[in-house]
């Protein structure tokens, strides 16, 4: 369903009225298009102390064709290397760098702060200073206007050369609906650099569950766009939609119920017949809702949601690990409901929180094979499901985030594709909220 308020607030007359009345003023977000540059204009770099990542970031920007200008009047991005901050008095450098520049950001600009995980800071003062960066970035994200976003990238010592994929993602339009989040790069050793950053998944096989419609269909499309051969899986009742999607993305359809006991061997058999037996990317997107308050929650509603959203994910992952190639990627779809809770969704929130636990436990267990395990946590995304909620609830979901609007399925898909990239091998065991910096659970 179209966001009529967004269309009104960005029109000539509506924009003036919105400003006069002090109403929410969301801005149209710029999303990725083929051939689009990573940064849409000059980037200004700053640092404090003895930075560890400034040289690597500059190299990445040069590879992206992004001009670095010290005195850009209308920068597309402001990047500050705070990895060298070892004491709280050095935090004054943040204000000194951003205060005179932040209001000159282009529409849909980017703020990126590079830091060190507090546990790796070495001293209590250093840990305090590094932890402070999280509060800074979250607050900046809520102050930015015009569709601009803010990110914190915590880089373990030794992981500086592994940041290209992540910097490309957070500075580009691919991260349009992600803001105020912290990401961590682990020192895992060298990561694979894609030969073609426009098709980083070329030669890889992906499986997407719940692919027939909504977010799943968009994930399949974006992975296909990035070069993957996609096996599109959904329930038999959606076979027609599944076949149409598979034909459109150049993949293959697989109709089955993931809660079936034989789901994993059937998927493995399909991979053997259609995709040379191996798997590189496993995307757990299938999910259902059966909402009721706890006092009205019957066992059938509870069991159905847990079976699809959590138990099937656990079983399918365990069954497919033997065919998941080294360097593989597992991405689960959680939800901000699983992180913050939501009235009327005890079953759904339980299942989505359980996925986070699965990701955190599985990531170190498969790290020796170069496999990463992560999750996306969508907020209010414009889908058939959200179009069916009551109008007032829908409007609240759209406005109660820093960007003042709902996201699109492509926003989640771009995050999944970034996790799936071979260049993102230093990111694992993490949950990325794709929610426009929703106020719920912030």
Out of 348, 380, 418, 419, pick the active-site residue: 348
**415 Cβ neighbours under 8 A, 6+ residues apart:** 174, 175, 178, 376, 432, 434
Concerning whether 5 is annotated as a catalytic residue, the answer is no
Q: Any bridge partners for residue 114, and if so which?
A: 81, 153
Return d(Cα 185, Cα 56) in angstroms, integer: 13
Return d(Cα 159, Cα 363) in angstroms, integer: 17
Residues known to be catalytic:
348
């Amino acid at each position: 369903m179209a966001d009529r308020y967004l269309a009104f607030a960005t029109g000539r007359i509506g924009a003036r009225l919105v400003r006069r009345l002090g109403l929410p003023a969301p801005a149209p977000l710029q999303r990725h298009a083929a051939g689009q540059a990573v940064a849409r204009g000059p980037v200004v770099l700053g640092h404090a102390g003895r930075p560890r990542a400034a040289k690597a970031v500059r190299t990445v920007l040069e590879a992206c064709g992004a001009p670095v200008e010290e005195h850009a009047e209308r920068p597309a991005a402001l990047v500050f290397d705070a990895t060298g901050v070892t004491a709280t008095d050095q935090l004054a450098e943040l204000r000194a760098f951003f205060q005179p520049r932040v209001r000159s950001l282009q529409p849909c600009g980017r703020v990126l702060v590079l830091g060190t995980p507090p546990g790796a800071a070495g001293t209590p003062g250093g840990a305090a200073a590094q932890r402070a960066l999280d509060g800074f970035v979250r607050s900046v994200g809520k102050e930015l206007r015009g569709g601009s976003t803010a990110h914190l990238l915590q880089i373990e010592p030794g992981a500086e050369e592994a940041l290209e994929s992540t910097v490309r993602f957070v500075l580009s339009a691919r991260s349009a609906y992600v803001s105020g989040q912290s990401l961590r790069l682990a020192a895992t050793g060298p990561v694979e650099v894609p030969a073609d950053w426009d098709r980083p998944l070329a030669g890889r096989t992906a499986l997407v569950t719940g692919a027939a419609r909504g977010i799943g269909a968009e994930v399949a499309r974006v992975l296909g766009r990035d070069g993957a051969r996609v096996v599109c899986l959904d329930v038999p009742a959606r076979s027609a939609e599944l076949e149409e999607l598979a034909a459109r993305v150049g993949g293959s359809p697989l109709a089955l119920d993931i809660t079936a006991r034989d789901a994993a061997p059937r998927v493995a058999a399909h991979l053997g017949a259609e995709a040379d037996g191996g798997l590189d990317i496993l995307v757990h997107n299938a999910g259902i809702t059966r909402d009721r308050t706890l006092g009205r929650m019957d066992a059938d509603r509870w069991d159905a949601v847990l079976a699809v959203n959590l138990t099937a994910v656990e079983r399918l992952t365990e069954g497919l690990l033997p065919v998941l190639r080294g360097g593989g990627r597992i991405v689960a779809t959680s939800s901000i409901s699983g992180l913050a809770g939501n009235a009327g969704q005890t079953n759904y929130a339980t299942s989505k929180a359980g996925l986070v636990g699965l990701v955190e436990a599985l990531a170190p267990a498969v790290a020796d094979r170069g496999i990463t395990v992560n999750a996306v946590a969508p907020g209010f995304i414009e889908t058939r499901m959200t179009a069916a909620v009551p109008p007032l609830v829908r409007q609240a979901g759209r406005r109660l985030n820093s960007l003042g609007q709902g996201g699109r399925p492509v926003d989640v898909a771009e995050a999944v594709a970034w996790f799936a990239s071979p260049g993102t091998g230093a990111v694992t065991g993490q949950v990325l909220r794709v929610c426009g910096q929703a106020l719920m659970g912030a």
